[in-house]
Amino acid sequence: METACLCRLRLIYKALGAFEASLVKRLGINFNEAMLVCLLSGHCVSGRSEAIGMKGSGREEKDDMIKLRTRNRTELPGEEIRVKKGCGGLKASEIADELGLSCSNASKVIASAENSGLVKRKACKEDARCMRFSLTQKGMEMFGRISCDELRLPEELADLINGALRD
């Protein structure tokens, strides 16, 4: 069995840990909280092409959509994340899906960001049992403080990202 790929993954995992430590030291937030702030800011790269917060694909629904900017501060090319107009944020399940987390883990990340004052919740207009999450002013300020120029990517991650950009 070839083990080189597993060894490379271990190096990437360690590099992500080092990057997270620099986030915590500089900004006081962990990797998942930073990704949540990025997602809710509308500046997150996403591979999803379908609209968030929508069921079906009828023309009338598409006309009621807005597009969020998805180019992040490192200028990676991104795709659009489309969100229903006036929705006031994302549902926890949408956040979990976009961040690649289980609903349980996403709930913990959201709760931590809420406790830090970065995220606020609001009942959905269409169903009061549903909650939508968005950034607070403090969350927007935190997003403004996240700068990839000041947070050095470990070499393993930089090589991986730069290689993906060339492909």
Q: Which residue has the higher pLDDT, 5 or 143?
A: 143
Asked if residue 59 is part of any domain, the answer here is yes
DSSP 69: -
pLDDT for the residue 27: 92
pLDDT at residue 78 in the model: 42
Domains: count for the chain: 1
Distances (CA, A) of 68 to 40, 48, 103, 147, 148: 10, 12, 23, 19, 20
26 belongs to a structural domain: yes
Range of the domain at 66: 4-159
Residue that wins the pLDDT comparison between 142 and 79 = 142
Cα atoms in the Cβ-side hemisphere of radius 13 Å centred on 155: 0
Residue 106: inside a domain, yes or no?
Answer: yes
Residue 123 lies in a domain: yes
User: How high is the pLDDT of residue 158?
Assistant: 78
Output the pLDDT for position 55: 38
Residue 21 domain flag: yes
3-state class of 145 per DSSP?
Answer: helix
How many beta carbons lie within 10 A of that of residue 127, not counting itself?
Answer: 8
* 166 domain residue, yes or no: no
What are 71-127's pLDDT values in tens digits? 333 333 444 444 443 446 899 999 999 999 999 999 999 999 999 999 999 998 888
pLDDT of residue 128: 85
The proportion of the chain whose per-residue pLDDT surpasses 70, expressed as a percent, equals: 68
Both tokens assigned to 12: 């990437």
Q: How far is CA 44 from the centre of its chain?
A: 6
Is 165 within a domain? no
Torsion of CA 32, 34, 38, 44, to 10 degrees: -60
The verdict on residue 167 lying in a domain is no
Q: What is the pLDDT of residues 143-163, one digit of tens each?
A: 988 876 677 777 877 777 777
CATH number at residue 38: 1.10.10.10
